[in-house]
A = this chain, B = another copy of it.
Amino acid sequence: MVQAVVMPAPRQPLELRSFATPQPEDGGVVLRTLGSEVCGTDVHLWHGRLAGVPYPIIPGHVSVGEVVALGGEVRDIDGRRLNLGDIVTFLDVWGSCGRCWYCAVAQATTRCPQRKVYGITLGAEEGLFGGWSEMISLRPGAHIVSLPPDLDWSTFLAAGCGLPTALHAVERGAIRFGDTVVIQGDGPVGLNAALLAQLRGAGQIILIGGAAVRLAMAQRLGVDQVIDINQQSEVERLETVYELTGGRGADVTIEATGVAAAVAEGMRLTRDAGRFVVVGQYTDAGTTVFHPHYDLNKKHLDVLGCWGSDASHLYRGVRVLARYQQSLPWAALISRRYTLQEAQTALEDVAAQRVVKALIVPGQTTPASATSGDRHGEQAAHG
């Protein structure tokens, strides 16, 4: 039997349930879970803010596991044949059809209507399709990425789903060498974006947020200037950014806040002919007002919505982590590890922003304690 955490319905207590030990489908894989992420999306799920979720579900959409059963010859994305004992992760999105207009003509696979998401839109009654479980069933056709030998699985989970989301946003931002990048939001997506901007040669990185511990983390991660929204009004923030950019504004701004008004502010923070990426409006946070003449047309601005991530973002993120984990301290993002039994606590800690990054580690036999001093901060953010 396998133990797994089940979210029965919005705002209902999480439950630990037993399931039959899974067998791999033909072309599928069964993983023993090493760890799984708790992210802002799990809080959204618990608050019932996402449409189309087939409760009950097993949460956990970014996870790492060890291969314990194989349904024949299965290959990772590099074409390497998997073996028992391999340590792998996988894209949470499964089932993009490759045949529809969005996949085949628009080449915008994150808008494919057939896509399902592990831990979110695949239900607990269908199988072990979430990571807060001792085992995970990967269906045939899953995008599997093997972790390089020198990349610890916990470092990968420290980056978490914020990494591919931020990587997608940073790609959309098309940062050029020496650019000033403003990041709105100090949650996992914002912090990952701050790290990745340094791997695009940004000349200056400014991060705007509201939690002291996360702003301190941002500075530790290499951000050049932090702006605390508790200390500066919107007008003052604009003044600060313009002062830091010779009166021009940011070359690239990335919104990762979850607050609708931040979108209009972001347009104003960005320079004429700059680029503004909106990735933080993952759920409905209401409307905002802007001024098309001044904020958009006269500015000759690019405003770029950024939805989800695909296998390329996950794959690239893993390679970036493996190469730069020494020079950029991703692992520091982990605040605490929780057992399956502690999943409710983990969820509440994230909801209350008491931690930066929380991990569910099924294999832990005794309650885990914090692995870093930072017990605070996790903003709703997921791509």
Contact = CB atoms under 8 A, between A and B. Distances in A.
A289 B288 contact: yes
Interface string A92-128: 0000101111111111101100000000000000000
A57 to B, nearest CB: 21
A291 B278 CA distance: 12
Interface in A169-212: 170-171, 176-178, 196, 198-204
A236 B79 CA distance: 23
Most buried by B among A170, A281, A302: A281
A129 interface: no
A293 B285 contact: yes
A271 B78 CA distance: 14
A306 interface: yes
B278 A292 contact: yes
Contacts of A327: 327
A52 B26 CA distance: 28
Interface stretch (A65-73, A308-316, A336-344, A348-356): A308-316
A86 to B, nearest CB: 15
Contacts of A282: 293, 297
Count copies of this chain in the complex: 4
Contact of A324 (B107, B141, B201, B273): B201
A104 B273 contact: no
B177 A196 contact: yes
Interface in A242-288: 246, 248, 251, 260, 263, 271-273, 278-288
Task: Report, as a range, how many residues of chain A touch the other chain.
Answer: 35 or more
B273 A283 contact: no
A299 interface: yes
Contacts of A311: 104-105
A135 interface: no
Contacts of A103: 98
Given A101-B315, A170-B177, 16 more contacts: A77-B99, A77-B100, A78-B101, A79-B246, A106-B272, A108-B272, A108-B273, A108-B300, A111-B300, A178-B316, A178-B319, A203-B320, A204-B323, A281-B296, A302-B302, A302-B303
What are the 7 A-B residue pairs with the smallest beta carbon separation, nearest first?
A178-B319, A108-B273, A199-B201, A203-B319, A281-B297, A178-B316, A104-B311
Interface of A: 75, 77-80, 96, 98-108, 110-111, 141, 143, 167, 170-171, 176-178, 196, 198-204, 224, 246, 248, 251, 260, 263, 271-273, 278-294, 296-308, 310-312, 315-320, 322-324, 327
